[in-house]
Amino acid sequence: MKSQRPVNLDLRTIKLPITAYTSILHRVSGVILFLGIAILLLALDTSLSSEEGFGRVQDYLASPLAKLVIWGLLSALLYHLVAGIRHLIMDTGHGETLQGGKLGSKIVLAVSAVLIVLAGVWIW
């Protein structure tokens, strides 16, 4: 019996469509947001505990590393938002074809890239 299953399962050599990349990035951005909420809640708790805690958080947020983390979390939020809007539009029946899905993925990547760059300019 000859099997039609793929022989090479090396993920580095498999070419995924653009829709797969946008879907994977949407899930990854959701995980980043979930983990980032813990960091932000810790900073909020520290800042509300006392004046010294507020000053510490303010000092941390002024550092370049903290700005990079905030920019990363904001980037994940912006990408997740744009991709989520795409999913809501698809729920209405628009862009469900293969060609529409590819176009929607390209739009999501382009709009997200612009928003992420603007967020970086705003933070830095």
Give alpha helix (H) positions in 50-124. 51-61, 64-91, 98-123
Amino acid at 103: L
DSSP 13: T
Tokens of 71: 């920019």
Spatial distance between the Cα atoms of 7 and 66, rounded to a whole number of angstroms = 45
Residue 80 is labelled as binding a ligand: yes
Which residues are part of a known binding site? 80
Which residues are part of a known binding site for heme? 80
